[in-house]
């Protein structure tokens, strides 16, 4: 698709999310709007989304003031706005979040490794605390923290930027996380997840679907090999690493959990001394706080990285395990952006409906930003083989927010030209700065 058409498609899809007729239909379907009132769905959605962008955690007074700024004749009071934030508002915003998730802007990078898999799914989670009175809704970890907490599981397909998410209690460990994620995995997919999700049963389920996984190996996991008699024998990893003749080695091993047994590729790759020393310092600090001594086994294991995958070598060479797994860190940067530029972890209010509305509205704003960022990244990569900075785009969105908000409510016919200016500006001014010996994710993928 030509660059100009890609830009126009982006503008149309983002602008469609704020189309009055569609929003009002959703407001009626969710019973947020049941009769004529001052605040209809379109106004309510717009003022809250941009209020979250401009003020991060706005008070009702700030939202009323923001609304008065562009539509003074409405004369909405703080109490009037308070009354509209109810269970129907929660359902309305949740439905609008679903529409934002499904904005049709698939990316398509011309990179060889991506073509080898149907989808490349990256999943991680972020968590934050809530006011304690909400512990009956979202249970936190307690201890020195709040008894109320929330965790957001978020993932995306590296090839097409299809998003998925789930919100649940903050005290549920990632490795106990059960949802439609595994159901969504299809034959030919590759899943990349961090150690928090390491469960042998899950790896088995992915394998049964004829899909693939790439993961770090938990250091306390026992691995086995078969002897000449076909019997499983535990592999002494420490002994094996001590005698490794090369910097990277691949062996076929088995993992066992109860009655499950899976065969997998184990790649052992030595790390630079500075990486080993950095790992050791972190572990030593943690053990000192606990009054423990770092074992010799632990020290030795810091000198290597351990990866497992069931993808055949024809799809993924052992030399590329670390490179491809390193792409997973992009989701950590996404979460950092959520917190630093969109304050997803800052929630005010003690009413359940208000807290839920705030979370859903912030996620709508985040998803819009992500969709814009991923699509612009695609455009910039095709155009100049450069990469875009999601942090810089987010900061520009903050600058453009008030004018975008004003145009949506007062001059909607001018929104598309406004968005075109925003997109063209970010394409020029939000490029990542090239640095010596620093490679960006798409460069890494292209080199695999």
Q: Measured between alpha carbons, how far is 213 from 315 in angstroms, rounded to an integer?
A: 12
Element (H, E) at 253: strand 248-257
Q: What percent of the chain is helix, strand and coil (3-state, nearest 5)? A: 50, 15, 30
The answer to whether 202 touches 179, Cβ cutoff 8 Å, is no
- Listed in sequence order, the residues at least 6 apart from 269 whose beta carbon sits closer than 8 Å to its beta carbon are 247, 248, 249, 304, 305, 307, 321, 322
Q: What pLDDT, on a 0 to 100 scale, did the predictor assign at position 179?
A: 52
Tell me which residue has tokens 């083989």.
385
Q: Measured between alpha carbons, how far is 376 from 384 in angstroms, rounded to an integer?
A: 12
Torsion, Cα of 28, 32, 36, 39 (10° steps): -120
Is 154 exposed, middle or buried (CB count within 10 Å of its CB: 0-12, 13-18, 19+)? buried
Q: Could you write out the DSSP letters of every residue in 97-155?
A: HHHHHT---------HHHHTSS-EEEEEEEEEEE-GGGTTTSB---TTS-SEEEEEEEE
Task: Give Cα 387 to chain centroid, integer Å.
Answer: 18
The answer to whether 329 touches 112, Cβ cutoff 8 Å, is no
Q: Measured between alpha carbons, how far is 151 from 168 in angstroms, rounded to an integer?
A: 6
* Alpha-carbon distance values, 10 to 14, 292, 406 (Å): 6, 54, 20
> Kind of pairing, strands 232-234 and 248-257?
unpaired
Tell me which residue has tokens 């972890």.
345
Q: What is the DSSP letter of 431?
A: B
- Listed in sequence order, the residues at least 6 apart from 447 whose beta carbon sits closer than 8 Å to its beta carbon are 323, 439
Please work out, in degrees rounded to the nearest 5, the angle formed at the alpha carbon of residue 126 by the alpha carbons of 287 and 60.
Answer: 130
Q: One digit per residue, pLDDT tens: the chain, 448 residues?
A: 778 888 888 898 898 889 999 999 999 999 998 877 778 899 999 999 999 999 988 999 999 999 999 898 888 889 988 999 999 999 999 999 999 988 877 676 778 888 899 999 998 888 888 888 888 888 888 777 788 888 888 888 888 888 888 888 888 777 665 555 666 789 999 999 888 778 898 899 899 999 999 999 998 899 999 888 888 999 999 999 988 889 999 999 999 988 899 999 999 999 999 988 898 999 888 888 888 888 888 888 899 999 999 999 999 999 999 999 999 888 999 999 999 999 998 888 778 899 899 999 999 999 999 989 988 988 888 888 888 999 999 999 989 999 999 999 999 999 999 999 999 999 999 998 877 777 778 888 888 7
3-state secondary structure of 252: strand
Q: What pLDDT, on a 0 to 100 scale, did the predictor assign at position 213?
A: 95
Q: What pLDDT, on a 0 to 100 scale, did the predictor assign at position 28?
A: 93
* Alpha-carbon distance values, 126 to 357, 441, 444 (Å): 18, 21, 25
Please work out, in degrees rounded to the nearest 5, the angle formed at the alpha carbon of residue 164 by the alpha carbons of 163 and 166.
Answer: 150
Q: How many beta carbons lie within 10 A of that of residue 385, not counting itself? A: 10
The answer to whether 283 touches 294, Cβ cutoff 8 Å, is yes
Helix 390-410 × helix 329-341 angle, to 10°: 50
Q: What pLDDT, on a 0 to 100 scale, did the predictor assign at position 65?
A: 93
The answer to whether 390 touches 10, Cβ cutoff 8 Å, is no
Q: What pLDDT, on a 0 to 100 scale, did the predictor assign at position 325?
A: 93
């Amino acid at each position: 698709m030509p660059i100009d058409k890609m830009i126009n498609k982006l503008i149309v899809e983002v602008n469609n999310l704020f189309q009055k007729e569609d929003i009002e239909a959703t407001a009626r379907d969710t019973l947020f709007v049941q009769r004529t009132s001052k605040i209809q769905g379109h106004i309510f959605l717009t003022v809250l989304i941009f209020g979250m962008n401009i003020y991060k955690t706005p008070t009702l007074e700030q939202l009323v003031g923001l609304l008065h700024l562009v539509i003074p004749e409405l004369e909405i009071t703080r109490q009037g706005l308070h009354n509209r934030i109810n269970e129907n508002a929660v359902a309305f915003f949740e439905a609008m979040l679903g529409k934002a998730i499904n904005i049709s802007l698939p990316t398509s990078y011309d990179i060889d490794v991506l073509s080898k898999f149907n989808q490349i799914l990256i999943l991680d989670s972020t968590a934050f605390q809530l006011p304690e009175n909400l512990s009956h809704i979202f249970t936190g970890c307690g201890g020195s923290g709040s008894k109320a907490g929330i965790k957001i599981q978020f993932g995306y397909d590296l090839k097409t930027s299809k998003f998925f998410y789930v919100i649940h209690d903050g005290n549920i460990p990632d490795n106990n996380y059960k949802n439609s994620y595994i159901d969504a995995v299809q034959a030919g997919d590759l899943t990349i997840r961090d150690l928090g999700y390491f469960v042998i049963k899950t790896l088995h389920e992915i394998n049964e679907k004829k899909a693939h996984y790439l993961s770090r190996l938990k250091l306390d996991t026992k691995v086995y090999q078969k002897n000449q008699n076909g019997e499983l024998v535990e592999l002494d990893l420490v002994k094996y690493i001590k005698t490794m003749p090369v910097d990277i080695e691949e062996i076929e091993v088995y993992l066992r959990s109860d009655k499950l047994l899976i065969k997998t590729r184990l790649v052992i790759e030595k790390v630079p001394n500075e990486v080993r020393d950095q790992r050791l310092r972190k572990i030593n600090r943690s053990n000192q706080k606990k009054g423990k001594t770092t074992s010799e086994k632990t020290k030795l294991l810091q000198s290597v990285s351990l990866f497992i995958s069931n993808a055949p070598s024809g799809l993924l060479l052992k030399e590329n395990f670390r490179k491809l797994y390193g792409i997973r860190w992009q989701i950590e940067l996404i979460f950092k952006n959520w917190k630093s530029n969109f304050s997803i972890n800052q929630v005010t209010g003690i009413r359940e409906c208000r807290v839920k509305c705030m979370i859903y509205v912030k996620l709508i704003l985040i998803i819009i930003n992500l969709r814009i960022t991923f699509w612009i990244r695609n455009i910039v990569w095709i155009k100049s083989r450069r990469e875009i900075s999601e942090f810089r785009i987010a900061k520009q969105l903050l600058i453009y927010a008030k004018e975008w908000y004003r145009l949506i409510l007062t001059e909607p016919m001018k929104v598309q030209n406004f968005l075109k200016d925003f997109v063209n500006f970010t394409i020029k001014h939000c490029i990542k700065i090239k640095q010596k010996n620093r490679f960006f994710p798409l460069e890494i993928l292209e080199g695999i």
